[in-house]
């Protein structure tokens, strides 16, 4: 047998290679479709996030406006104990300006006795 005969593929090997290529092509197509679906979902979620963020900012602005105008002192702290709202009436009652206390721990300005 000549050396070139050893390098030739048998019919069974060619059939196996074609099957493997077909399987690879199908898998590649499936992954491409899945990727496109994920891209669409990410786009949808991005739009939803943008809309929710816009609504949150609008709501925060409205709430701050309302709480800033009520005739009672309002002080709000977050779960970490930091002051996140301090309206003008709270400023008058405590003598602190909101800039002095905003973002600081409640206990730093108003020690619990």
**Is 83 buried (19+), middle (13-18) or exposed (0-12) by CB count in 10 A?**
buried
| DSSP category for residue 70 | S
Q: For 10-56, how does the pLDDT look when each residue is reduced to its tens digit (9 = 90+)?
A: 888 888 888 999 999 999 999 999 999 999 999 999 999 999 999 99
- Judged by DSSP in three states, 75 sits in strand
Q: Between 51 and 2, where is the model more confident?
A: 51
pLDDT band at residue 95 under the 50/70/90 scheme: very high
């Amino acid at each position: 047998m000549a050396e070139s005969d050893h390098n030739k593929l048998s019919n069974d090997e060619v059939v196996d290679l074609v099957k493997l290529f077909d399987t690879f092509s199908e898998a590649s197509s499936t992954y491409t479709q899945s990727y496109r679906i994920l891209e669409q979902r990410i786009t949808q979620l991005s739009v939803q996030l943008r809309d929710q963020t816009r609504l949150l900012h609008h709501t925060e602005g409205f709430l701050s406006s309302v709480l800033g105008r009520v005739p009672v002192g309002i002080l709000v702290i977050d779960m970490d104990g930091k002051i996140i709202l301090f309206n003008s009436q709270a400023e008058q009652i405590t003598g602190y300006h909101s800039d002095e206390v905003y973002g600081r721990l409640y206990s730093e300005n108003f020690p619990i006795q």
